[in-house]
Amino acid sequence: MDFDLQWLLIGLPIAFALGWIASRLDIGQWRRAQREAPKAYFQGLNLLLNEQHDKAIDAFIEAVQRDPDTADLHFALGNLFRRRGEFERAVRVHQHLLQRADLSGADRARAQHALAQDFVRAGLLDRAEEAYRTLEGTSFDIEARLARLTLAERSRDWRTATQIASRLEASGTGSYATRIAHHWCELSLQAADSGDETAAADALRRARDAAPHAPRPLIIAARRAALAGDAPTAFDHYSEVLRHAPAVFPLVAGEYATTAIRSGQVDAARATVQRRLDEHPSVDLLNAMRLLDGAAPAHAAVPDAGARAQALLHAQPTLSAALAVLDTPLDAHDEAALRDVREAVARAARAQQRYRCAACGFEAQHHHWQCPGCLNWDTFPAQRVEEL
Ligand SMILES: [Zn+2]
């Protein structure tokens, strides 16, 4: 009895002590394991921030091996592979994620989205389209539709593009009207190229329905009318371009002048272009004006071509305007015109007289021994840009 009690008194504290040591050992080991996975992760992060992508990949692979259940590490690794241009490895990481049964719905969509981006970057557009298509109805829905729209435009699949854009428009994520109008314009031009006039006219009508004031459908309609010999209708369409999108008008000013002449509306057109030319000088408008001047009735007051070119150059000292002046008989010009030509040439030359760093492209008015942009020494050639 004494013996037993003695052993009990000694044994109990020892048992406690052993149990406590064992439990500490266990916790220590567990804590170490927990610490090591984030350590590798932070190491990878640190290397990433220091632009050491290769070493960062190694660190992330180590972290993934230690802690294979963490989806976030896989995402980090996969995105890193994609950014490095290692698309096959990025695809493998994201496909591996998708095969996991324990992946949450949100992470599954995220992995599918990442996979689609891998395919885009790898140039596998069919597979990208397929991957984006499976994202319909997920939190990446709009993003995936926008990506599919870009893919369809990139492969010039205008019919698919206009369908996707119409659905995006219907979902209220913004206005796609001008984009849809461009798709129908492309379809109209394609149909016209292949000789299908009915389809061309139909597509053009849809383009104008989509964006009634967009300039491109109006311009295509004008060209179609001019081609069919209907100059008055063409002139009306070009006039509409000027009314709704005046900034685009210089693109079609020449065609506007031609159809004005063919439909007998030279006087009206001359007044319109002159007004526009006074407000927004442009060499395209000057050329259109010259066409109209040539067709003006005998009683009209028409300034000579030299005077028109001089007026433009004075308002807008560009090289094109200077060229227009030099292209008219030189004896028609006074000293003021020569001063304007000199000013236009000097202005254009200023950009060419700079010095450009051969290392980074930094341009400066003066030569620098040390580049203010990249701080390299002796990277500025002694020659100015125009002499290189
Ligand atoms: Zn530089």
Distances (CA, A) of 98 to 84, 133, 145, 212: 21, 16, 21, 46
CA 356 – ligand 1 centroid, Å: 8
The pLDDT value given to residue 27: 57
d(CA 361, CA 355): 9
Q: How confident is the model at residue 127 (pLDDT cuts 50, 70, 90)?
A: very high
Q: Does the pLDDT at position 1 exceed 50?
A: no
For residue 372, the CA-to-ligand 1 centroid distance in Å is 7
- Cα(345)–Cα(340) distance, rounded to whole angstroms? 9
Nearest to 60 by CA among 85, 20, 31, 89: 89
How far are the Cα atoms of 62, 80, 115, 353, 368 from residue 91, in angstroms, in the given order?
19, 11, 6, 50, 48
Cα distances (angstroms) measured from residue 378 to each of 132, 360, 371, 386: 50, 12, 8, 19
CA of 51 to the centre of ligand 1 (A): 21
pLDDT band for position 21 (cuts 50, 70, 90): low
| Average pLDDT over the chain, rounded to an integer | 87
Q: 297: CA distance to ligand 1 center in Å? A: 60
pLDDT at 342: 93
383: burial class by Cβ within 10 Å (0-12, 13-18, 19+)?
A: exposed
**pLDDT above 70 as % of the chain:** 89
Answer yes or no: is pLDDT of 23 > 70.
Answer: no
- Ligand 1 center from residue 84 Cα (angstroms): 26
Q: In a 3-state reduction of DSSP, which class is residue 377?
A: strand
Question: Ligand 1 center to residue 241 CA distance, Å?
Answer: 46
Task: Give dist(CA 375, CA 364) in Å, integer.
Answer: 13
pLDDT attached to residue 39? 74
- Which amino acid, one-letter code, is at 319? L
Q: Please answer whether residues 103 and 71 qualify as being in contact, where contact means their C-beta atoms are separated by less than 8 angstroms.
A: yes
Indicate if the pLDDT at residue 352 is higher than 60. Answer: yes
Q: What is the 3-class SS of 212-230, one letter each residue? A: CCCHHHHHHHHHHHHHCCC
Residues in the chain: 388
Predicted pLDDT of residue 85: 86
pTM (2 decimals)?
0.74
Which residues have C-beta under 5 Å from ligand 1, the single-atom ion?
357, 359-360, 362, 371, 373-374
Say how many Å lie between the CA of residue 366 and the centre of ligand 1: 13
The predicted model gives 80-93 an average pLDDT of: 87
Express each pLDDT in 222-259 by its tens digit: 999 999 999 999 999 999 999 999 999 999 999 999 99
Residue 343, phi then psi, degrees to nearest 5:
-60, -40
Q: For 269-280, how does the pLDDT look when each residue is reduced to its tens digit (9 = 90+)?
A: 999 999 999 999
pLDDT at 283 over 50: yes
Q: What is the Å distance from ligand 1's center to 374 Cα?
A: 4
- Give tens-digit pLDDT for 192-207: 999 999 999 999 999 9
* Residue carrying the six token digits 């227009």: 324
Distance in Å, CA 364 to ligand 1 centroid:
10
Q: Quick one: pLDDT at residue 12?
A: 58
The pLDDT, as a whole number, for residue 172 is 86
Residues 6+ apart with CB under 8 A from 23: none
SS3 state at 50: coil
pLDDT, residue 14, reads: 63
Cβ-based neighbour number of residue 258 at 10 Å? 21
